Amino acid sequence: MQVLQVQLEVGPDPAEVGRARRWARSRLAGSGIGDDEPLAETLVLLISELVTNAVVHTGCPAVLRMLFGGAPDAGTVRVEVADASARPPLQRHAEGEDTNGRGLALVDGLADRWGWQAEGTGKSIWCEVDRGAPVVTARLREPGAYEPSCAVTRHA
């Protein structure tokens, strides 16, 4: 099976999260995943959460990678964010009106699989979404905020 990998270096600035989302949308379109597809929205949300965590919790540059496997209509899309911190990710539990602490819970709920591994002197946090697998999609509610939609769709 042939795998296509693309990557983007992300600076330690929260403004880089928006740049990472725009870059990801263009790469998804280039791989045959349309901007209006639920799969694209799910992947952009996952990327946003992982890049935000790397930038906010490490204060170091990071590398965003997307790997596309299989034929254009099949396979898995893998997202990885590598940073220089060896500290493992910590899934926090947000309460009520908390504005932080939901990132890895969203990743856990939207990705088919996720985890982390040591990479060099730092770590890589990854998640995978299977094309063709049903998932709950997420929609942008306002700048920087997402809300789950009630639609369960099958990634095509």
* Segment 102-144, tens digit of pLDDT: 678 889 889 999 999 999 899 999 999 998 766 555 544 444 4
The reported pLDDT for the residue numbered 156 is: 42
Q: How far apart are CA 48 and CA 104, in angstroms?
A: 11
CA distance 38 to 105: 19
pLDDT, tens digit (0-9, with 9 covering 90-100), for 41-73:
999 999 999 999 999 888 899 999 999 976 554
Q: Give me the residue spans of the domains in the chain.
A: 3-154
Strands, E assignment, the chain: 3-10, 62-69, 76-83, 113-119, 122-130, 134-142, 145-154
- Assign 149 a pLDDT band (cuts: 50, 70, 90): very low
Q: Which CATH superfamily is domain 3-154 in?
A: Histidine kinase-like ATPase, C-terminal domain (3.30.565.10)
C-beta separation of 45 from 103 below 8 A: no
**Which alpha helices (H) appear in the chain, and where do they start and end?**
16-30, 38-58, 103-110
pTM: 0.78
Could you read off the pLDDT of 28-41 as tens digits, one per residue?
998 889 888 899 99
